[in-house]
């Protein structure tokens, strides 16, 4: 359950990759680039944290990209057209997205449906609803947006740690602690190990399922708000495919797609690896940005193969501990 070896491998890939990049483009090794990397991937880091919980519990959440898209449109319209104070709009959308996730979790548990189908339906629903609100991009001009966008902690070396990056780091740390240190976190692993056994051991499986999907949608809502800060606009086509990017980050971070094992820290490293590839391509200038996807695909293959290898290794009877019975 410690999941350390896969995370370690992810960390090694990140460090080695970063070193290679730095050899070719020494400028990459600067707080400025790292700061931008965190800012650019803030929404991905937030939503991937939620995805980590879902996947460790043995599920999947395909709706998060659509929820981000819906959130940006909703927030933009609420502030710009309906004259709602930004803070109220934020609270409203978080309540809405949380309820949306809870409803999906309840569907999954009560009707015993595969999470893939339920969240796929949720994905279409949220995306469709955002088109219903507005088909075109709605710019946000509220003063709070420029304030937040301008806010940043100065890093030594000229880098900036922006507000959205700080929000993301806070959520990653909070998520890691929630998963590692609380009863809720232990139950997430339990669900991923075996729903039946967990239930026999007294875990309220239904309530946990609802909570986990609620958490994922809630974080997708926060990611949506962060995304609207980042682009200063609401657009129904934003964050298309982000659910897949976040699943990729989770898997590259060493979380078992079948559930039961994984960590938020690993997911964060997975996000950084994707960001690093993106940065490298930007620095190179001649490569198409689609190379990011290809590199991510190759890494995914490698990590899935690696996990299968580790699982096979763990199944070998030789690897079993003798169980030092006195």
Binding site for other proteins (CB under 8 A): 1-2, 181-183, 185-187, 189-190, 192-194, 196-203, 260-261, 314, 319-326
Largest Cα–Cα distance of the chain, in whole Å?
Answer: 73
Residue 20 or 197: the one with the smaller Cβ distance to other proteins is 197
Specify the residue, 39 or 57, whose C-beta has the smaller distance to other proteins.
57
Distance (Å, rounded) from C-alpha 102 to C-alpha 293? Answer: 31
Task: Return the structure tokens found at 139.
Answer: 């710019």
CA distance linking residue 264 with residue 60, whole number of Å: 15
Cβ atoms < 10 Å from Cβ of 322: 5
Closest distance of CB 192 from other proteins, Å: 7
Q: Which residue has the tokens 């959520």?
A: 171
CA-to-CA distance for 47 and 65, rounded, in angstroms? 9
Q: Which of 84/178 has CB closer to other proteins?
A: 178
On whether the CB atoms of residues 272 and 7 are closer than 8 A, the answer is: no
Q: What is the 8-class DSSP label of residue 317?
A: G
Q: 108: which DSSP letter?
A: H
Residue 105 C-beta: closest distance to other proteins, Å: 19
Q: Which residue has the tokens 């039946």?
A: 196
Tell me how far, at minimum, the Cβ of 24 lies from other proteins, in Å.
40
Residues 6+ apart with CB under 8 A from 318: none
CB of 250 to other proteins, least distance (A): 16
Residue closer to other proteins, measured from CB, 35 or 260: 260
For the CB of residue 317, give the shortest distance to other proteins in the complex, in Å.
8
What minimum distance in Å lies between the beta carbon of 217 and other proteins?
23
Pick 16 or 204: Cβ nearer other proteins = 204
The residue (of 155 and 186) whose beta carbon lies closer to other proteins is: 186
């Amino acid at each position: 359950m410690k999941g350390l070896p896969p995370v370690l491998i992810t960390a090694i890939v990140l460090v080695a990759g970063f070193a290679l990049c730095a050899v070719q483009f020494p400028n990459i090794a600067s707080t400025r680039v790292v700061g931008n990397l965190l800012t650019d991937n803030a929404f991905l880091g937030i939503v991937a944290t939620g995805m980590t919980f879902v996947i460790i519990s043995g599920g999947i959440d395909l709706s998060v990209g659509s929820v981000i898209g819906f959130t940006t449109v909703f927030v933009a319209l609420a502030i710009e057209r309906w004259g709602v104070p930004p803070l109220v709009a934020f609270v409203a959308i978080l309540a809405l997205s949380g309820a949306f996730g809870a409803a999906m979790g309840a569907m999954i548990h009560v009707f015993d449906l595969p999470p893939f189908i339920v969240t796929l339906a949720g994905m279409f629903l949220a995306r469709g609803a955002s088109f219903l609100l507005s088909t075109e991009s709605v710019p946000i001009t509220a003063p709070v947006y420029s304030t937040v966008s301008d806010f940043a902690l100065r890093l030594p070396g000229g880098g900036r740690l922006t507000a959205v990056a700080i929000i993301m780091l806070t959520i990653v740390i909070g998520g890691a602690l929630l998963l590692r240190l609380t009863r809720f976190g232990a139950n997430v692993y339990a669900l991923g190990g075996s729903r039946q056994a967990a239930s026999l051991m007294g875990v309220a499986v239904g309530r946990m399922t609802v909570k986990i999907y609620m958490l994922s949608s809630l974080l997708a809502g926060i990611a949506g708000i962060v995304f609207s800060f980042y682009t200063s606009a609401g657009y129904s086509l934003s964050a298309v495919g982000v659910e897949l990017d976040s699943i990729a980050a989770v898997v590259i971070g060493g979380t078992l797609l079948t559930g039961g094992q994984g960590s938020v820290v690993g997911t964060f490293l997975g996000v950084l690896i994707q960001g690093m590839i993106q940065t490298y391509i930007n620095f190179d200038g001649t490569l198409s940005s689609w190379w990011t996807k290809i590199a991510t695909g190759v890494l995914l293959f490698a990590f899935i193969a690696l996990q299968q290898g580790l699982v096979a290794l763990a199944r070998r009877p030789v690897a079993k501990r003798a169980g030092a019975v006195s």
